[in-house]
Amino acid sequence: MEKNMTIESPRFGTLEVEPSKIIEFPGGLPGFEDCHRFTLFHPEGEDPKYFVLQSLDDPALAFHVADPARFGFNYEIQLSDEESAVLGLADPSTAVVAVMLTKEENGQPLRANLNAPLIINLETRRGIQHVFARLNYELTLRSAG
């Protein structure tokens, strides 16, 4: 039986992570290719609709993530055979999509990175960041009057 992993996160303190809660990103994340192991959790006292994606390889690295539907966005993503193989994805219903969030320092609202969603296979606990070369979406504008 594998032991829990303990890390010291500068932002979230001591975190104890069960092996079953580790998500592997085999290729890392763009800009953070050396970080392959992460965990997801809700920080205490924060909105449970947001998660923290905490690196286990670099305790100083953590991202806020959320379901894109929270921002009124729904993806239809076609994965390449290579991406499906990395995820070990046999059944698309076992995959979830999340977007990374950023918050500007000057009081700007929370923003979601819609161009590079995370795709995580819940069965294999493997993930990728799918970066779109071009994101095709339509906006419907309604008049105020």
- CATH number of the domain that residue 42 is part of: 2.30.290.10
Q: How many residues does the chain have?
A: 145
Compute φ and ψ for 86, nearest 5 degrees. -60, -40
Positive or negative: CA dihedral 81, 120, 132, 135: positive
Task: Judge whether 10 lies within some domain.
Answer: yes
Of residues 98, 42, 96, 102, the one with CA closest to residue 70: 98
Pick from 129, 122, 114: which is nearest to 29 by CA?
Answer: 129
Confidence (pLDDT) at 137: 54
Q: Provide the domain count of the chain.
A: 1
The verdict on residue 143 lying in a domain is no
Measuring CA to CA, how many Å separate 142 from each of 71, 118, 137?
Answer: 18, 30, 16
Question: pLDDT by residue (tens digit) across 18-27?
Answer: 999 999 999 9
In a domain, 142, yes or no: no
Residue 141 covered by a domain: no
Which residues have CB under 8 Å from 144's CB, separation 6+? none
**Distance (Å, whole) CA 51 – CA 68:** 12
The range of the structural domain enclosing residue 31 comes to 5-129
In a domain, 90, yes or no: yes
Percentage of the chain modeled with pLDDT above 70: 86
Neighbour count for residue 90 (Cβ, 10 Å): 10
**Would residue 35 count as lying in a domain?**
yes
Asked whether residue 137 is domain-assigned, the answer is: no
By mean pLDDT, which of 18-22, 29-33, 61-65, 141-145 is the weakest?
141-145
Residue 40: inside a domain: yes
Q: Mean pLDDT across the stretch 102-107? A: 72
| Whether residue 135 has pLDDT greater than 70 | no
pTM for the full predicted model: 0.84
